């Protein structure tokens, strides 16, 4: 299971619909659970750093490392093989404090561009689906 914790508002129907299209195709261990928090609550939650050694925490941030879809797939597979929980953090409009980035296991950049959190949610969901397809050798991803 992959837990995605995101800042910002949940209520944009187009984003929920688009993410749901990829989510309905996912099977364990690639299935997704969501936690939506407004930015102040997200910052307070992360200040306590509720994650432990069994959690592999990925922070989405444009200052992170840009990797390919096959590399992302391998990263998730390694976590599942090590019996780690995958937690992906998507910030709201103001991103994350430096202390959050420092504690993360991996800082993932989709691009040097900055995306609204709604689009970042869709990118993350699609990339999880793509990673699952790469892992099983499905036809969705081609090189």
In terms of average pLDDT, the best of 9-13, 15-19, 63-67, 112-116 is 63-67
- 134 neighbors 86 (Cβ within 8 angstroms): no
Q: Is residue 102 part of a domain?
A: no
b/e map 32-47, b = 16+ CB within 10 Å:
bebebbebeebbeebe
- Per-residue pLDDT at 9 exceeds 80: no
Q: Is residue 141 part of a domain?
A: no
131-143 mean pLDDT? 90
Compute the Cα dihedral for 95, 101, 105, 111 and give only its sign. Answer: positive
- Per-residue pLDDT at 32 exceeds 80: yes
Q: Is residue 101 part of a domain?
A: no
Q: Is residue 58 part of a domain?
A: no
Domain that holds residue 15: 2-53+63-94+107-136
CATH of the domain at 31: 3.40.1280.10
Q: Is residue 100 part of a domain?
A: no
Task: Give 42-56 pLDDT, tens digit per residue.
Answer: 999 999 999 998 999
Q: Give the whole-angstrom CA distance, residue 128 versus residue 22.
A: 8
Q: How many domains does the chain have?
A: 1
Q: What is the pLDDT of residue 93?
A: 80
Mean confidence (pLDDT) of the chain:
93
Chain-centroid distance, C-alpha 36: 13
What's the whole-model pTM score?
Answer: 0.94
Q: Is residue 33 part of a domain?
A: yes
Residue 9: both structure tokens together: 């508002």
Task: Give 114-130 pLDDT, tens digit per residue.
Answer: 888 889 999 999 999 99
Instruction: Check residues 128 and 38 and name the one with the higher pLDDT.
Output: 128
């Amino acid at each position: 299971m992959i837990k995605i914790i995101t800042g910002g508002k949940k209520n944009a129907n187009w984003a929920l619909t688009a993410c749901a299209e990829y989510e309905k195709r996912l099977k364990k261990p690639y299935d997704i659970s969501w936690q939506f928090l407004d930015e102040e609550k997200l910052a307070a939650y992360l200040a306590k750093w509720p994650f432990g050694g069994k959690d592999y925490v990925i922070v989405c941030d444009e200052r992170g490392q840009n990797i390919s879809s096959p590399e992302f797939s391998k990263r998730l597979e390694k976590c599942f093989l090590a019996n780690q929980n995958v937690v992906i953090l998507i910030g709201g409009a103001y991103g994350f404090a430096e202390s959050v980035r420092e504690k993360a296991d991996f800082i993932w950049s989709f691009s040097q561009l900055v995306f609204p959190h709604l689009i970042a949610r869709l990118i993350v969901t699609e990339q999880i689906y793509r990673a699952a397809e790469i892992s099983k050798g499905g036809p969705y991803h081609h090189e």
